[in-house]
Amino acid sequence: MVKQQSANRANQHREAPAARPSAPRHSAGPQALNLDPVIHERARLGIISALAVNETLSFNDLKKLLDVTDGNLSVHARKLEDAGYVRCTKSFVGRQPRTEYQLTAAGRRALKEYLSEMEEVIRTTRERE
């Protein structure tokens, strides 16, 4: 009984984790940028860009190329995979696990749209100079 009361008191003081706000959509006056928040983050943009110019890359190749930790790469790659932008294939080479990533058609389209938006920002900025 005492343990349960103690546990109940401890739970009363815990707050629910704050919801993470989604990436804001920026407004540049009358035109709003429509940047894909899944791609716009630096590590994910690096992953998708590297895969755009390489047919496949291993987890270790991406880790070295982007200079990120295992955990960081894993989380960002999973977000891209959940969005359908990259495909992850796990296998073994001998007894060593091997994880390879490949850009999907949806990922290639998303990157193309993202780059078009960024090119528009650059063009508009240069016109205003």
pLDDT at residue number 32: 61
pLDDT at residue number 31: 57
| Distance from C-alpha of 66 to C-alpha of 50, rounded to nearest angstrom | 9
Q: Specify the pTM.
A: 0.73
Strands 57-58 and 96-103: antiparallel
Instruction: List the chain pLDDT tens, one digit each, 129 residues.
Output: 444 444 444 444 433 333 334 444 444 444 567 889 999 999 999 999 999 999 999 999 999 999 999 999 999 999 999 999 999 999 999 999 999 999 999 999 999 999 999 999 999 989 987
Which domains are present in the chain?
36-121 (1.10.10.10)
Q: Which residues contact 104 (CB under 8 A, 6 or more apart)?
A: 84, 85, 86, 87
| Distance from C-alpha of 40 to C-alpha of 36, rounded to nearest angstrom | 6
